Structure 1
Amino acid sequence: MTRTFRIIQVSDLHFGGENPAAVEAALAWFHQEKPDLLVVAGDLTRDGAKTEFAAARAWLDRAPGPLFATPGNHDTPYAGPGELVERLITPWRRYEARFGIADGAVWQTPGLSVFGVNTARRAQLRWNWSKGAISVRQIRHLEGRLATAAGDVRIVVCHHPLMELTGEPMSSEVHGGRRAARHLTAAGADLVLSGHIHTPFAAPYPFGDGRTLAVVSGTLSLRERGVPPSFNLIEIDPSEIRVTALAFGKADFTVWRSWAFDRRPAA
């Protein structure tokens, strides 16, 4: 890899409960910076309503450059008991009608490969269905995908942070998440991008060479958790990965926090 990639990472847009000023200001910022890729790490909607998906799609259609999205736990029908049957039988139909396949999406350009995995579930054998899960089958599929992209910057996108890390504000208690983080590190993933906790965060997984980074973006909704609406700018060059969380003030975005990590040496 000889070039620098610039990726914008957003998540938890929660259209139906978005912050109107923040989403418009973010769009202007995106056009100014012209990223190589815009990644949306789930929860595009608040209640999985058709009108919310339409609003999310319309907003993202106004954004520059390629788009890569994966769903979150709010992207199934969520508004009430009348939609429970659809949630259980065809949970991702509304998402897929607007954004393509819910599990296993791929986006590639020379030097950069991005792979999606759906960690949200229609239902689970635990009370809180919003928590995440990743299966052995999904992990093996990702390992195969990563193996085909040796030499590229390799990115995995999911909604839930796979495991709790030191300094992370909360855990999404992903079933199979620790195993997934360990296997993705061994498979050479450079970044695992997620959302869900509404607070920007970046740290390496404590496995293998310690060069696989978990990067979480904040929310552009009104559902704030101690941090203003925010998104991440990720810059990747041959030797370093830089993550900058930009938070919304009264009219614009400014730097809230930044991280820098050495990249895994080329094989």
Structure 2
Amino acid sequence: MIRLAHLSDIHFGGENVAAVTGAAEVLRGGGFDLTIISGDLTQFGEIGEFEAAAAWIKTLPGPVLVTPGNHDAPYIAWFERFFSPFGRFQRLIGQVEGQTHVSPGLAVFGVNTARGVQPRANWSKGQISRRQTARARDWLCAAPEGQLKVLVCHHPLAEMIGGPMTARVWGGEAAAKAFSECRVDLVLSGHIHAPFAWPYPFGDRRTYAAGAGTLSLRERGVPAGFNIVEADEREIHVRAQAWKGSHYETSRTWSMDRRQ
């Protein structure tokens, strides 16, 4: 059994303090193979917010894989936003692109779908380039059959059905199709602040998108929370954990067939 903790959109600087503390307690007692944080660690990309995030991550049992989100580019420091949008992330958190984790039965690759600036009005939306897609596809395709193959990014590559907001990822549909053809099992993301799980409509429909909610005060119709992902040889289970003010409870579960 593979057990993953999938968190996203903590937004240090605007975090739900009790929910963040409670999540760390679950992680320390949960026996997870890997903790994944899919972006938006900070609210405004401020140095103090990154420092708080880094200190919190150090309290978690390893290993931990973290990708950036659009909020992790400085909001006020415009020179940095244009010329080194994820310099603070790299300096205080770690690798920005191409993070990997390999352990028995598990292969994970991280992609940065956030951008400091873009040639469109809403810079919060996502992008994944052909080069990023090819690099992630080739790495995951090379993983042995039978491993749980996981791609991590901040923005959902295809829109959450009925979601409270959009990601509008440039290159997202092509990437989702490529990862489906490569027989990736899961694409984990955040950004939407609401949990979901559903299959991509490509190939054998056994590549699943799953999104975690938020641990911030910026709730969008669902409580603060995160996901627990469990996979055996036959099924993948995604369990959304909802903060109840003093503890977490499973609010929804998705069960999805694995490739045989």
TM bracket, shorter-chain basis = over 0.9
Determine if contact 1:201/1:215 at 8 Å carries over to the other structure: yes
Determine if contact 1:205/1:214 at 8 Å carries over to the other structure: yes
SS at match of 2:197: strand
Query: What corresponds to 2:185 in structure 1?
Result: 190
Query: What corresponds to 1:235 in structure 2?
Result: 230
Q: Which runs of 4+ in 1 moved over 4 A?
A: none
SS at match of 1:107: strand
Query: What corresponds to 2:125 in structure 1?
Result: 131
Amino acid of the residue matched to residue 244 of structure 1? R
Amino acid of the residue matched to residue 115 of structure 1? F
Query: What corresponds to 1:30 in structure 2?
Result: 27
Quote the offset at 1:63 in angstroms. 1.1
Quote the offset at 1:98 in angstroms. 2.2
1:107-131 C-alpha deviation (Å, 9 max, x unpaired): 1112211000000011111100000
Quote the offset at 1:65 in angstroms. 2.5
Determine if contact 1:116/1:156 at 8 Å carries over to the other structure: yes
Residue correspondences, number = 259
Determine if contact 1:234/1:244 at 8 Å carries over to the other structure: yes
Query: What corresponds to 1:114 in structure 2?
Result: 108
What is the alpha-carbon distance in structure 2 between the residues aligned to residue 177 and residue 222 of structure 1? 28
Quote the offset at 1:165 in angstroms. 4.3
Query: What corresponds to 2:198 in structure 1?
Result: 203
SS at match of 1:13: coil
Question: Structure 1: which 5+ residue stretches go unaligned?
Answer: none
Determine if contact 2:163/2:192 at 8 Å carries over to the other structure: no
Query: What corresponds to 2:172 in structure 1?
Result: 177
TM-score (norm 2): 0.97
Amino acid of the residue matched to residue 245 of structure 2? K
My pick for the range that moved more, 185-194 or 139-148, is 139-148
1:147-206 C-alpha deviation (Å, 9 max, x unpaired): 220322110000000011434443200001011100000011100000000000000101
TM-score (norm 1): 0.95
Determine if contact 1:165/1:205 at 8 Å carries over to the other structure: no
What is the alpha-carbon distance in structure 1 between the residues aligned to residue 256 and residue 172 of structure 2? 22
Determine if contact 2:164/2:220 at 8 Å carries over to the other structure: no
What is the alpha-carbon distance in structure 2 between the residues aligned to residue 250 and residue 147 of structure 1? 42
SS at match of 1:114: strand
Quote the offset at 1:49 in angstroms. 0.6
Query: What corresponds to 1:57 in structure 2?
Result: 54
Residue 77 of structure 1 pairs with residue 74 of structure 2 = yes
Residue 196 to residue 165, structure 1, CA distance change in 2 (3 Å): closer
Question: Structure 2: which 5+ residue stretches go unaligned?
Answer: none
SS at match of 2:183: coil
1:52-88 C-alpha deviation (Å, 9 max, x unpaired): 011011111111221000000000111x2xx111111
Identity among equivalent pairs (%): 49
Quote the offset at 1:44 in angstroms. 0.4
Determine if contact 1:163/1:171 at 8 Å carries over to the other structure: no
Determine if contact 2:50/2:93 at 8 Å carries over to the other structure: no
Q: 1:251 aligns with which of 237, 246, 253?
A: 246
Quote the offset at 1:28 in angstroms. 1.0
What is the alpha-carbon distance in structure 2 between the residues aligned to residue 210 and residue 148 of structure 1? 20
SS at match of 1:219: coil
Query: What corresponds to 2:95 in structure 1?
Result: 101
Amino acid of the residue matched to residue 243 of structure 1? V
